[in-house]
Amino acid sequence: MRDGNVGGGLPAYAQRAGLGTVPRTQLRLVAAQEPPCRYDPELFFAESPEDIRRAKKLCAICPVQSACLAGALQRGEPWGVWGGALFLRGAIIPDKRPRGRPRGSSADRALAVSAS
């Protein structure tokens, strides 16, 4: 059997988590009470916002989600997706922005307006 993406025949828990594009192997690990991060650990340290959203969805149905998050907080993990939360520089942030020019702060914008 190929490990392609799962189609419409998803188990209910996977449908609720929005896992229509998660490889079957990862879904099998979750169903077997294995953390999905054991199958593809790089996904949980990805750079792209799309991969990070996918990792968070897998965490949402993981059998050890709360223990993972508690451990990451206790250890002060510097970055990655742990227990469904995204860590960056040791703090939990809601989402990761794509690479590119950073947003200017409101103080920078105020200086630019006053200088003109």
95-106: pLDDT as tens digits: 877 666 666 655
State yes or no: pLDDT of 4 exceeds 70.
Answer: no
pLDDT of residue 38: 83
| Burial tier of 92 (Cβ tally within 10 Å: 0-12, 13-18, 19+) | middle
Asked if residue 109 belongs to a domain, the reply is: no
- 21 inside domain: yes
Q: What is the pLDDT of residues 11-25, one digit of tens each?
A: 554 555 555 555 666
| 25 within domain boundaries | yes
Domain of 38, in residue numbers? 12-99
115, part of any domain: no
Asked if residue 110 is part of any domain, the answer here is no
* 18 vs 53 pLDDT, higher one: 53
> Is 71 inside any structural domain?
yes
How many CA atoms are closer than 13 Å to the CA of 106, on its beta-carbon side? Answer: 0
Task: Determine, yes or no, domain membership for 78.
Answer: yes
**Count of domains forming the chain:** 1
Q: Flag whether 69 is in a domain.
A: yes
